[in-house]
Amino acid sequence: MHQIALLIFLLVLVFFIIKSYVKNSGLEVRLVGVIASVFSALLFINDNISFSIYLSVAGLMLIISIIEDSYSMAYLDELTKIPSRRALKEELMKLGNKYTIAMIDIDFFKKFNDKYGHDVGDDVLKLVASKLVQVGGGGKAFRYGGEEFTILFPGKSINEIMPHLENLREEVSKTGYTRKPSKSKSRNTGKLFVTISIGVCEKSSRHKDHNDVLKGADKALYRAKKKGRNCVSK
CA triplet 122, 126, 127: central angle to 5 degrees? 115
Task: Tell me how far apart the alpha carbons of residues 157 and 169 are, in angstroms, rounded to a whole number.
Answer: 18
Q: How many CB atoms are located within 10 Å of the residue 104 CB?
A: 30
- Active-site option among 90, 91, 147, 202: 147
The contacts of residue 195 (CB under 8 Å, 6+ apart) are 106, 107, 169, 172, 173, 229, 230
Count how many residues are written for the chain. Answer: 234
126 with 163: CB under 8 angstroms? no
Characterize the bridge pairing of strands 140-145 and 177-178.
unpaired
Does the annotation count 170 as an active-site position? no
Catalytic residues: 147
